């Protein structure tokens, strides 16, 4: 199982931990990942990281589909891939949620299933450069002929000779979109995946692969977890609860919150409802306290080294291609040891 390092998106300031990234690369980590919400973007930091590293793959987990047209996303990743020396960029895409899509980007929520399908299809056509790009989609079409169009749009082919094999991964979680991910994408960035829920997704993934005539080894799955090496398990669990309460309770509309839906899928429906109710009622401390210890513990690697090592084996046993971790230098080093990486300069 390969390892990735998650950086996430910025807070009020943008800091890129280059020393941690370079350490991860020396230890044998396969990838480093950025993200975006409504502040720092996910692609620009990867160009900076590319200039300070040599081989580690550069992925987004995820760019928001509504933030760029498919052509713009393809241009950005083709450029990043060239700057990085080739075969290092991974384009991870997600739909975000309707509050951000319509409130921040000013785009219609539409029908996400078909938006994803059109978006990926167009990007792959652009990367391939087999012909000027045309696409008649249910949500996105090229050339554009909708309201306001002059009707003179011209199909074009990229001036830059792009890497046709830049992988596109999707961040999805619902049955229909997970199946679609396996069908049209090169990899999957699952939302809230834990070893206990792995069987839930197996049939969805297999159906998608069969639709496309692909085998399992042609499709990567990279889950994500946080790591805290500590003797005080309870304090570590408590430190992670505010972030969970924020996403389950407040990162999405009451009737459309993918993080809440993920918590329900994992068997914590009552807690998810209670957290959202409290959070939307501005009772944040109570919402945080309502996050179950078990839910946090399932999704993180927390505790003394022996406890983490034992739980790490559970992640290895569920047929993942990789696991992306976030944590401090001690965590980065210890997880490399758990994964039995071949240390270079360490």
The CATH 3.20.20.30 domain(s) of the chain lie at 2-225+304-338
pLDDT in tens, the chain (346 residues): 999 999 999 999 999 999 999 999 999 999 999 999 999 999 999 999 999 999 999 999 999 999 999 999 999 999 999 999 999 999 999 999 999 999 999 999 999 999 999 999 999 999 999 999 999 999 999 999 999 999 999 999 999 999 999 999 999 999 999 999 999 999 999 999 999 999 999 999 999 999 999 999 999 999 999 999 999 999 999 999 999 999 999 888 888 898 999 999 999 999 999 999 999 999 999 999 999 999 999 999 999 999 999 999 999 999 899 999 999 999 999 999 999 996 544 4
Widest distance between CA atoms in the chain: 66
| CB neighbour class for 163 (10 Å; exposed up to 12, middle 13-18, buried from 19) | middle
Between CA 75 and CA 172 the distance in angstroms is 23
| CATH architecture classification, 2-225+304-338 | Alpha-Beta Barrel (3.20)
Residue 269, token pair as written in the block? 């429906």
- How many CB atoms neighbour CB 25 within 10 A? 22
Q: How many residues does the chain have?
A: 346
DSSP assignment of 170-189 = E---SHHHHHHHHHH-SEE-
Model confidence, pTM: 0.95
User: What pLDDT, on a 0 to 100 scale, did the predictor assign at position 344?
Assistant: 46
């Amino acid at each position: 199982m390969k390892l990735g390092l998650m950086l996430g998106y910025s807070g009020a300031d943008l800091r890129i931990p280059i020393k941690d990234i370079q350490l991860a690369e020396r230890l044998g980590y396969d990838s480093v990942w950025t993200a975006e919400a409504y502040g720092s973007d996910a692609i620009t930091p990867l160009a900076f990281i590319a200039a300070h590293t040599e081989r580690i793959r550069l992925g987004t987990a995820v760019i928001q589909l509504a933030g760029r047209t498919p052509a713009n996303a393809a241009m950005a990743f083709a450029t990043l891939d060239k700057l990085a020396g080739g075969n290092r960029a991974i384009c991870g895409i997600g739909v975000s949620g309707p509050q951000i899509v319509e409130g921040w980007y000013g785009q219609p929520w539409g029908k996400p299933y078909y938006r994803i399908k059109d978006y990926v299809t167009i990007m792959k056509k652009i990367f391939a450069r087999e012909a000027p790009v045309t696409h008649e989609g249910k949500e996105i079409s090229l050339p554009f002929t909708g309201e306001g169009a002059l009707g003179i749009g011209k199909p074009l082919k990229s001036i830059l000779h792009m890497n046709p094999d830049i992988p596109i991964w999707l961040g999805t979680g619902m049955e229909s979109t997970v199946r679609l991910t396996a069908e049209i994408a090169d990899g999957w960035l699952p939302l809230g995946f834990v070893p206990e829920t792995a069987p839930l997704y197996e049939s969805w993934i297999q159906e998608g692969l069969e639709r496309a005539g692909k085998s399992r080894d042609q499709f990567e799955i990279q889950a994500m977890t946080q790591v805290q090496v500590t003797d005080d398990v309870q304090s570590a669990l408590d430190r992670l609860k505010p972030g969970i309460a924020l996403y389950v309770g407040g990162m999405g509309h009451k009737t459309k919150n993918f993080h809440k839906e993920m918590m329900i899928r994992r068997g914590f429906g009552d807690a998810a409802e209670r957290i959202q109710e409290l959070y939307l009622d501005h009772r944040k401390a109570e919402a945080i306290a309502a996050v179950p210890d078990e839910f946090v513990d399932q999704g993180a690697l927390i505790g003394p080294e022996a406890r983490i090592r034992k739980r790490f084996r559970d992640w290895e046993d569920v047929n993942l291609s990789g696991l992306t971790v976030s944590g401090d230098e001690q965590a980065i080093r210890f997880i490399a040891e758990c994964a039995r990486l071949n240390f270079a300069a360490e």
